[in-house]
Structure 1
Amino acid sequence: MAKVEVKELLEAGVHFGHLTRKWNPNMAPYIYMERNGIHIINLYKTAAKIEETSEALAKIAASGKKILFVATKKQAKDIVAEKAGAVNQPYITERWPGGMLTNFVTIRKAVKKMAAIDRMKKDGTFNSLSKKERLQVDRLRAKLEKNLGSISDMTRLPGAIFVVDILREHIAIKEAQKLNIPIFAMVDTNSDPREVDYLIPANDDASKSVDKILSIVTSAIADGLNERKAERAEKEAKSQKSEAKAAPAKKAPEATQEEE
């Protein structure tokens, strides 16, 4: 895993916190100083936390579990969709569907409804509907795609969630806490770090900062996925080798005894 360069974090503006009057005192250990009424985050501590977080995320990815990314704020949603999508991880960038985790069975039913509509279009059933019904079905499909399309491959609860802005995504945080799902997050100076299991003290408002952090953590996830792929290939090769050894050698047919 590549070492995190503090200089790169500085250039991305990761160090800019919120106004001092909006701070959460629990973030004090991660604040370096105050400048012009704004808290400045200690980037050396950020770098250490990024490395700790990346290592944990790589292990989860290597175990075969999914990591659900959550970011509905304007400056983060496109970045999250791009970065999470690149490593084949689910993400929520529109409104958080209530019960997404705590009522996962219902969410899965909605995803299956989307798949059922797709089947209707393939087998011709859709064309047999009236014009009004087709319009209604199309609208439903578009709505489901917008809200749940990015999690259509998530067939079970995620192994972890990664959140940008824990204040904004407080419902997602509460649901994950209820189910003991590990929470990873970018935490700004106005938030409570005790809400999450793995925090990255960082500016969660600037797109450059979000992009930088997401690039690093998704790269770690990609490493974990590659490790899993290599392990599976190795196991398969060993299995084939042992099967080949276990296969009995073909015996020459025994000569039949001539009757006396």
Structure 2
Amino acid sequence: MATKPTHQELLEAGVHFGHLRRKWNPKMSNYIFGEKNGIHLIDLNSTISGMDRAGNAMRQIARAGKKILFVATKKQARDIITAAATEVNMPYVTDRWQGGMLTNFNTIRRSIRKMQNIQRMLEDGTLDSVTKKEKLTLTREHEKMSKVLGGIADMSRIPNAIFVVDIVHEHLAVAEAKKLNMRTFGIVDTNADPTSVDYPIPGNDDASKSIKAVIDYLTACIKQGLSERSEEKDQKASAKPAEAAAPAAAETPAPPAAEEPTAPAAE
């Protein structure tokens, strides 16, 4: 069972720090409990509630064998998201959001195949036969494509859901996901509209410690879902031999009953 961080741990991570009051979004009023030095303070009860709701949903998605796309192109979130998504085998985007990554996925898949073809040519020596200039051009193209598409290279279809660290900064990704009726998750700071995503998690989306506190819990929930899926598969696999043996046992004829000796006739 994934363990939620305590209020104290969230405080130490700075999850409660919002933006300057003048930058606030009025739709966040229910998630703000005060102000200090002109900065809004986020109610950590709502943060924990949002994490709990989002974590349960992510666990179910992982348990069903579906994918969640992680998006965080802000510098302070990139390494955190890359490590977390890789750990649970989920696709991710951390360099920049390329328009149409979801809504024009067929074109994106062609770019991914091109990137993978160049990778194969670099590895098997095919490019040794071309000029140095051509090889350098292809190598640079591969590096550029890997930065943008490397995290979704194994994404063969549109994922079931998307998680973004900053829904204002990643508004293009959120818009594409909503257009495709994907479930949307996001860390929502005081300058954002929490109704923009299905599962808002009120919190500081600028500090790396705050981001990691939220991500660590969500990753644990996904791990739990993956573990439950694995257990279910094992149970089904072990049940099949037993099911196959049952009909066979039923078809085996029972041995004939022994005849009782006939009593001698009375004289």
Q: TM-score, normalised by structure 1?
A: 0.92
Q: Secondary structure at the match of 2:206?
A: coil
Q: Is the 8 A contact 1:4 1:51 kept in 2?
A: no
Work out the CA distance in 2 between the residues paired with 1:164 and 1:63. Answer: 23
- Whether 1:102 and 2:115 are equivalent positions in the alignment is no
Pairwise CA RMSD of aligned residues?
1.6
Residue number in structure 2 paired with 1:155: 156
Offset of residue 75 of structure 1:
0.9
Residue 246 of structure 1: how far off its partner (Å): 4.3
Bigger radius of gyration: 2
Deviation at 1:245, TM superposition (A): 3.9
Give the secondary structure class of the aligned counterpart of 1:102. coil
Structure 2 residue matching 1:39: 3-state secondary structure:
strand
2:260 aligned residue: none
Note the C-alpha offset of 1:197: 0.3
Task: State the Cα distance separating 1:124 from its structure 2 match.
Answer: 3.6
Alpha carbons 1:187, 1:193 under 8 Å: kept: yes
Q: State the alpha-carbon separation in 2 of the partners of residues 162 and 28 from structure 1.
A: 23
Alignment of 1:202-241 (within 5 A): 202-241=203-242
Gaps (5+ residues) in structure 1?
252-260
Instruction: Note the C-alpha offset of 1:250.
Output: 9.4
Counterpart AA for 2:177: A
Counterparts of 1:26-45 in structure 2, within 5 Å, are 26-45=27-46
Q: For residue 93 of structure 1, what is the amino acid of its counterpart? A: T
Alpha-carbon distance in structure 1 between the residues aligned to 2:193 and 2:176? 17
Query: What is the deviation of 1:222?
Result: 0.6
Q: Distance in 2 between matches of 1:184 and 1:244?
A: 46
> Partner residue of 2:60?
59
CA distance in 2, matches of 1:193, 1:231: 35
Higher alpha-carbon deviation: 201-210 or 122-131: 122-131
Shift of 1:90: 0.9
The answer to whether the Cα contact below 8 Å between 2:4 and 2:217 also exists between their aligned partners in 1 is no
CA shift, 1:120, in A, is 2.3
Instruction: Work out the CA distance in 2 between the residues paired with 1:86 and 1:10.
Output: 26
1:139 corresponds in structure 2 to 140
Query: Residue in 1 aligned with 2:15?
Result: 14
Show the counterpart of 1:255: none
Deviation at 1:157, TM superposition (A): 0.5
Give the equivalent residue in structure 1 for 2:169.
168
Partner residue, 2:262: none
TM-score (norm 2): 0.90
Deviation above 3 Å: which 4+ runs of structure 1?
Answer: 121-124, 244-251
Read off the aligned partner of 1:95 and give its amino acid letter.
Answer: R
2 CA distance for matches of 1:115 and 1:145? Answer: 9
Return the alpha-carbon distance in structure 1 between the equivalents of residues 232 and 17 of structure 2. Answer: 41
Counterpart secondary structure, 1:98: coil
Number of equivalences: 251
What secondary structure does 1:189 align onto? coil
Distance 2:87 2:23 in 1: 35
Task: Tell me which amino acid in the other structure corresponds to 2:171.
Answer: H
In structure 2, what is the Cα distance between the partners aligned to 1:48 and 1:56? 13
Distance in structure 1 (CA, Å) of the matches to 2:58 and 2:167:
18
CA distance in 2, matches of 1:86, 1:21: 38
Matched, 1:194 2:186: no
Counterpart amino acid of 1:69? F
Q: Deviations over 1:157-194 (max 9, x none)?
A: 11100001111111101101110111100000000111
What CA distance in whole angstroms lies between the structure 1 residues aligned with 2:224 and 2:119? 34
Query: Which amino acid is the alignment partner of residue 12 of structure 2?
Result: E
2:182 is the alignment partner of 1:181:
yes
Q: Does 1:115 align with 2:113?
A: no
Unaligned runs of 5+ in 2: 254-267
CA 1:102–1:245 in 2, change beyond 3 Å: closer, same or farther?
A: same
Q: CA deviation at 1:131?
A: 1.6
